[in-house]
Amino acid sequence: MTKKIGILGGTFDPPHFGHLLIASEVLTELQLDEIWFMPNQIPPHKQDKKFTTSEHRFNMLKLAVNSHEQFHIETIELLREGPSYTYETLKILCEKFPTYSFYFIIGADMIEYLPKWYRVEEVVKLVTFVGVKRPGYLMETKYPIIEVEVPQFDISSSLLREKLRLNKNTAYLLPEEVKRYIEENHLYGT
């Protein structure tokens, strides 16, 4: 069976409504069958930073995507040790699902960073990149990208980590279930 799959790769530390918004908009605009949220083990470009454990990031993502029947989690990168190079991942997924077409969703910050991706020239042959705007970043790139217009939402995991650390209001920025999980597990200084 052929399927059109959108992949949203990320660190999801924590997942927020910006992630869910772009996934939902791309799903409907491109008439995809499913979105696979794909948390990485070690983001290739942030190898020197510290992250919340894979287990907590996975659990939070599960709570975030639970209520949407076309949203799924792909754990391939979480199960692989070392930096999660997208090229390595996509090679495996394309072999495993030869009849699927993959659409890799990235925000404008990542579009700027694409020239530094490991074997990006090969990556563009494996997937269609779908770019979405993000406040403060340009959409310009020499790589082939489909742009999907989404309402811009100036929110990031870094902003949320900071707000949670300072015990500031996070209502309407992330799902309540995720917020509850963060508090119960005392993540981000809560």
Ligand X SMILES: Nc1ncnc2c1ncn2[C@@H]1O[C@H](COP(=O)(O)OP(=O)(O)OP(=O)(O)O)[C@@H](O)[C@H]1O
Ligand Y SMILES: O=C(O)c1ccc[n+]([C@@H]2O[C@H](COP(=O)([O-])O)[C@@H](O)[C@H]2O)c1
Q: Work out what residue 90 binds among ligand Y, ligand X, none; the CB cut-off runs from 5 to 8 Å by kind.
A: none
DSSP for 78-125, please give it: TTS-SB--HHHHHHHHHHH-TTEEEEEEEEHHHHHHGGGSTTHHHHHH
Q: Detail the DSSP E strand segments found in the chain.
A: 3-10, 34-39, 71-73, 100-107, 128-132, 145-147
Phi-psi region of 61 (alpha: psi -120 to 50; beta: other; left: phi over 0): alpha
Question: Could you tell me the smallest distance in angstroms from the CB atom of residue 141 to ligand X?
Answer: 13
Q: Work out what residue 86 binds among ligand Y, ligand X, none; the CB cut-off runs from 5 to 8 Å by kind.
A: ligand Y
Among 109, 122, 162, 183, binds ligand X (CB under 6 A): 109
Residue 178 binds ligand X (CB under 6 A): no
The candidate with the shortest Cα–Cα distance to 72, out of 106, 124, 23, is: 23
CA–CA separation, 97 vs 116, rounded Å?
Answer: 27
Residue 18 binds ligand Y (CB under 6 A): no
| Listed ranges 25-33, 74-82, 149-157, 167-175: which one lies at the site for ligand X (CB under 6 A) | 149-157
Looking at the DSSP bridge assignments, the partners of residue 38 are: 9
Residue 12 binds ligand X (CB under 6 A): yes
Give the CB-nearest residue to ligand Y.
9
Residue 14 binds ligand Y (CB under 6 A): no
Question: Could you tell me the smallest distance in angstroms from the CB atom of residue 67 to ligand Y?
Answer: 23
Site size with ligand X, rule: CB under 6 A = 18
Residue 71 binds ligand Y (CB under 6 A): no
CA–CA separation, 100 vs 32, rounded Å?
Answer: 11
Q: Can you give the binding site for ligand Y, defined by CB under 6 A?
A: 9-11, 38, 40, 43-46, 84-87, 110, 113, 117-118
